[in-house]
Structure 1
């Protein structure tokens, strides 16, 4: 059964249709990649699901609730978390305090930026950091972390909300190849353990083909293909519209044959 159903979603800016009547579904326990060339409508779609943009038309049903018209904080409280292309953490706080702040928000508790959250659910925060391999750095300020480690902290922050759906915007942007694979392997593990759904955008095709269960492809605001990675790789329309000659897919195919 689908956790989220997107139906005839549309968004225009002036006379330009950034998203033009797209529909797709997402199931619990599934990583769904949203890909397409620049200007395809990926970010607009992503931001409508998250509530940062309001759809002009269509519906986004999540766990039986309509998301269109809700604010990002209201969507967060429905157990929808998000990570960003540029990792979002409080640099002046420690790693564990960042996660504790997220736990405060998830519990609808008020907090003060001038009063440390050091006593609030520290053990639970440490448990989340353990899951992402950051417990040993819990008391270090985020400002001194390597970028790959900041991404792991951001993932722990997202997990504080006990998400049924995790939205990941370019999760591996700015990361080295090994860091990219480590982060996505960790995400895949969490998806399995928690039976949550993940919708992610990504430009690194090696990451997409290695970790996505299914893919949807946009071009000029419209959905042009949907299916499993091998189906998308071999789709002539995707190769023509998105990759031109299809050489990227052929390279990926050959690399898997060698492996």
Structure 2
């Protein structure tokens, strides 16, 4: 049974059909890549799933709940986490404090504190940082971290709500090859350990083919292909959309 079922969703902006009748599903414990060239509709699709846009047609079912048109906060509370292409951490706070703030938000205690915020949920926050390999840097300010480490903190923040589904928008953007492979290997490990599902957008094909269990490809708002790495690599419509010729994707590890 699928954890997430997307059925015939559409969204227009003016005369432009940004997402047009897209359907797919995502079982628990799977890493699904959402691919497509610029303007394909990936971000709009993500924003519909996250509740930032209301779909004009279709439905979205998560864990038995119809979340079509629900507010982002309500979707988050059902167990859908999200990371963003541009990091959303507080640079002046420590790594530990960033995660503690997320835990306070989860428990709805941000406006009802009776003792200093750093004293709340310290043990749970440290456990999350241990999971993402950042416990040793817990007392450092996020603003002085390497970019790859900031993304690990953001992942710990996203995990604070114990999500069953994690939406990751360009998680490795701006990262060096070694950093992005390390982050996605960590994500894959968490998927397997927690039986969590991940839907991610990504431009680095080496990351996609190395870590995704399945892939879906959008072009001009429509889903044109889905399947495993070999299926997508050799799909004529995908090759045409990405290259406009008979070229194929480079082998794993060779793409830039």
Shorter-chain TM range is: over 0.9
Tell me, which stretches of 5 or more residues in structure 2 are unaligned? none
Q: Which runs of 4+ in 1 moved over 6 A?
A: none
Q: Distance in 1 between matches of 2:43 and 2:130?
A: 31
TM-score of the pair, normalised by structure 1: 0.94
Identify the residue that residue 236 of structure 2 maps to in structure 1.
236
Distance (Å, rounded) in 2 between the aligned partners of 1:50 and 1:243: 30
Q: In the aligned structure 2, how far is the partner of 1:111 from the partner of 1:157?
A: 19
Q: SS at 1:18's partner residue? A: strand
Distance 2:81 2:245 in 1: 37
- Offset of residue 241 of structure 1: 1.9
Q: Does 1:147 align with 2:150?
A: no
Deviations 1:149-201 (A, max 9, x none): 10000000011110000000000000000000000000000000000000000
Answer yes or no: is the 8 Å Cα contact 1:3–1:28 preserved in 2: yes
Match of 2:169 in 1: 169
CA distance in 1, matches of 2:198, 2:180: 16
Alignment check: 8 A CA contact 2:60 2:68 kept? yes
Counterparts in 2 of 1:246 and 1:50: CA distance versus 1, 3 Å? farther
Alignment partners' CA distance in 2, 1:31 and 1:243: 25
- Indicate yes or no: 2:42 matched with 1:28: no
Aligned pairs (5 A) from 1:53-202: 53-111=53-111, 116-202=116-202
The alpha carbon displacement at 1:131 in A equals 0.8
**Aligned-residue offset at 1:110:** 2.8
- Equivalent position SS for 2:18: strand
For 1:38, what is the secondary structure of its paired residue?
A: coil
Q: CA RMSD in A?
A: 1.7
- Equivalent residue, structure 2, for 1:17: 17
Instruction: List runs of 5+ in structure 1 lacking aligned partners.
Output: none
How far apart, in 1, do the equivalents of 2:239 and 2:82 lie?
A: 30
Query: What is the aligned residue count?
Result: 254
